[in-house]
Structure 1
Amino acid sequence: MRTRTTTATAAAALTATVALLLSGCGGSDSGGSGDSGKDEIAGADTGAESPASPSPTVTDDGIDRPEVSLPEGDNLSFEPETTGDAKTDAVLKDNAEYLRAIDEAIGKQNPKSEAVAFYSKDAAYLGSVEWISGFVKDGVTVTGTVRYFDRKVTFSEDGSAGLVYCADESKGYTKDVKSGKVNVTEASKDSYVLYNDRLRKNDKGVWQTTKSTSERGSEVCQP
């Protein structure tokens, strides 16, 4: 499964980062620009030149989206991909692209991924940057197969969407960037993760993930 050697340290840093963001924003994921989290990270730039942005692709909904490509040997599956309800399917699609963008960023060792910023904001964006940075620090990427299943969407009166889903990481691993060695680990209860996300549609029509919490080893997701 996709554990890292610095998991505890990264988790502590993530908690502090999210707490700082929420204290400054009053815990709200509404209002403001979709680039708020991105600007905060950019403000801490050391001057290093960022990798080139992904080329945009015009999709059937008319939105210019960044092209996302998974690392070699990395596979993500989503169940269900569609439900037949257009609004629900839009949430599922953008959530899937957000997760794919994170894996792409890990593969490219690029915490400042434009694709991740495109599909997330606020606490979720900052958490993603912290998570990707942990892989970069460890010198590892991702490989294998992760299955996201039982994806269920609900809509709130404030216009936001809730998305609860499970992840099966029993066949997903980390891989050393330099040596190419795959860190194969045995499947366990902790290979299954429960996610609870909050998304909000921005002015471009993209359902950005604004908050994300997870519970590794959740009984809800066990086979």
Structure 2
Amino acid sequence: MARRALTTTAAVFATTAALLLTACGDGDDKPSGDIEGADTAASPSNSASASTPSGVKRPEVTLPSSFRLTFKNWTSSDPDEQAVLNDGKEQLRAGYAAIIENKPDGGNALAFYDTEAGLSQDREWLKSYTDKNVTVIGELPVFDPQATLFAKKTKAQLRYCTDESKAQTKHRKTGETVGNPQGTDPQVAYVVTMQKSEQGVWQTVSTNSTRGGCS
């Protein structure tokens, strides 16, 4: 169920879900069931917070109460780092919203927060759910964020961890729910490569994950 990365070239990774749905995984987890965790409950998303640039209108991302993505200590005293955290958070929310809405193409919100390469990779992640006709339910905490900027603040790396203990996938037709297999480490570490668009939006270029990498 975790969001995993799929290696496409020596330098590019495609994101996918790690929980069981590690379908496009970069290595650790192989698809076994389908799971994911992820966003703060269902009301109109905690989309771009006040600290995000006001010049660009961000899309509104909404998640149902059946799937809760929580972001712990998702703040920084540095406004540039906070901008990376804000857009990285909304990109993750947009991805799970697309899974829940059964949109294998990602929809407009994910396209907004992804580069062309990032969207291509994320579509592989989404299909690991939509092709199996499953959605995600439960709770997915996202914690220990760390944003690092470089290349004159035009590129960034965002690291964070997730805990899939309370997240599951649910078959849309049968209602069957699946979680990670017993003995699977529920924590997954992510490294997200991002770049700043001409409009000032931090877009995801690639995502890599390591199950058990949070300890």
Give the TM interval when normalised to the shorter protein. Answer: 0.7 to 0.9
Give yes or no for the alignment of 1:121 onto 2:121.
no
State the TM-score, normalizing by the size of structure 2: 0.73
Q: Which amino acid aligns with 1:117?
A: A
- Post-superposition offset of 1:96: 0.6
- Post-superposition offset of 1:179: 2.8
Whole-Å separation in 1 of the counterparts to 2:161 and 2:200: 25
Superposed counterparts of 1:7-156, under 5 Å? 14-15=6-7, 18-19=8-9, 61-112=54-105, 113-156=107-150
Going from structure 1 to structure 2, the CA distance change for 1:58 and 1:172 (only over 3 Å counts) comes to closer
The percent identity for this pair of structures is: 37
Give yes or no for the alignment of 1:160 onto 2:150.
no
Task: Provide structure 1 residue ranges, at least 5 long, that are not aligned to the other structure.
Answer: 23-56
- Higher relative helix content: 1
3-state SS, counterpart of residue 68 of structure 2: strand
Residues 180, 186 of structure 2: 8 Å contact kept: no
3-state SS, counterpart of residue 93 of structure 2: helix
- Post-superposition offset of 1:58: 9.3
Give the corresponding residue for 1:33: none
Residues 186, 212 of structure 2: 8 Å contact kept: yes
Give yes or no for the alignment of 1:215 onto 2:210.
yes
Superposed counterparts of 1:178-197, under 5 Å? 178-185=173-180, 188-197=183-192
What are the Cα deviations for residues 47-103 of structure 1, in whole angstroms up to 9, with x where unaligned?
A: xxxxxxxxxx99751321211111441011112221222111111010010000010
Give the corresponding residue for 1:48: none
Task: Number of aligned residue pairs: give it.
Answer: 176
Residues 80, 150 of structure 1: 8 Å contact kept: yes
Which structure has the larger Rg over C-alpha atoms? 1
What are the Cα deviations for residues 115-174 of structure 1, in whole angstroms up to 9, with x where unaligned?
A: 111101143221210110110111100111111111001111252011111111111110
Residues 71, 142 of structure 1: 8 Å contact kept: no
Q: Which has the higher contact order (CA 8 A, sep 6+)?
A: 2
Whole-Å separation in 2 of the counterparts to 1:94 and 1:71: 20
Task: Provide structure 2 residue ranges, at least 5 long, that are not aligned to the other structure.
Answer: 13-46
Q: Which amino acid aligns with 2:9?
A: A
Q: Which amino acid aligns with 2:108?
A: E
State the TM-score, normalizing by the size of structure 1: 0.70
Going from structure 1 to structure 2, the CA distance change for 1:84 and 1:59 (only over 3 Å counts) comes to closer
Aligned-residue Cα RMSD (Å) equals 2.6
Whole-Å separation in 2 of the counterparts to 1:20 and 1:104: 29
